[in-house]
Amino acid sequence: MTKPAPDYELVIEPSPRWIRIYWRELWEYRDLLVFLVRRDYISKYRQTLLGPAWFIVQPLLTTMMFVIVFGRVAQIPTDGIPGPLFYMCGLLGWNFFSQNVTTGATTFTANAHLFGKVYFPRVILPTAAIISNVVAFVLQFLPFLAFFVYYKFFTTAGVSLHMGWRVIFLPLILLQASIFSLGVSLWMSASTAKYRDIVHLNQFIIQLWMFATPVIYPLSRIPARYEWLVWLNPMAAIVESFRITLLGRGTLGPGVLTSSIVLTVATMVSATIVFQKMERTAVDNI
């Protein structure tokens, strides 16, 4: 006995608008989103000895390297914040951003086999990567919290540190970092789908971007003649916001914060336009 035909039909067609996000489709494909988040989380450390513990080990090793190279050798000041705590706090925001961009930049090239077989909202892939990295952010926050407690209550080096009421803004800062990294991911994924050379430049761009962001140095140490770079880099305000929120120490003026939010929104809007234009022909070009 055959089943009766459904009383509706599904029409898949390119959007005639410049920018249109199918929020209803994203909700309808929520099962796929959950599956992709779980896949990203499991595949990163499958067949490894430490498994998810690498989420904690990696920032600890990076922090140790920064303390030795930039703290002891280069003697870059940290505005009175203990070195390990200073670098670890900066890496919280930066690692979240860089991991999102690194994964999302290969949306078209790494998933061409899926795009050619079945339809689903393409933006689900970079969105799933961001949600997966939120889990990594939470795990990396645990060693930071342990270092904060140690320097705050068991030594005299961090007596001026305080995690006060500003901590309520942490979800908003993480949300801005997510939106900005999603926008950059959409820009890079659309670019790499058309120009494969950019794939080889992504890591180089991320490394240079880190040095333009106050991860290894405080924002207060930037010379006045280079302040315009801070205004053009939304990640500078995001990283400094993490320090102000979690350590109660930092330098962030209203102008830098406003420009960071404006550029975040502009990046997301422009990236959505470019991404939606590229996804119409991306499968044919890959």
> For the chain, how many residues are written?
286
**Per-residue pLDDT for the chain (286 aa), expressed as one digit of tens each?**
555 555 656 665 555 555 555 667 777 888 888 888 887 777 766 656 666 677 788 888 999 999 999 988 988 988 888 889 999 999 999 999 999 998 888 877 777 677 767 777 788 888 888 998 898 898 889 999 999 988 888 877 655 777 878 889 999 999 999 999 999 998 888 888 777 767 778 888 899 999 989 999 988 888 888 888 888 999 999 999 999 999 988 888 888 889 999 999 999 999 988 888 777 665 555 5
The pTM (predicted TM-score) of the whole model is 0.86
- Residues 256, 140: Cα–Cα separation, whole Å: 27
Q: How many Å apart are CA 239 and CA 219, to the nearest integer? A: 9
- Residue identified by tokens 């203990």 is 82
Domain chopping of the chain, boundaries: 29-285
Any idea of the CA torsion for 161, 166, 172, 177, to the nearest 10 degrees? -20
Residue 2's pLDDT is 58
Residue with tokens 């899926």: 114
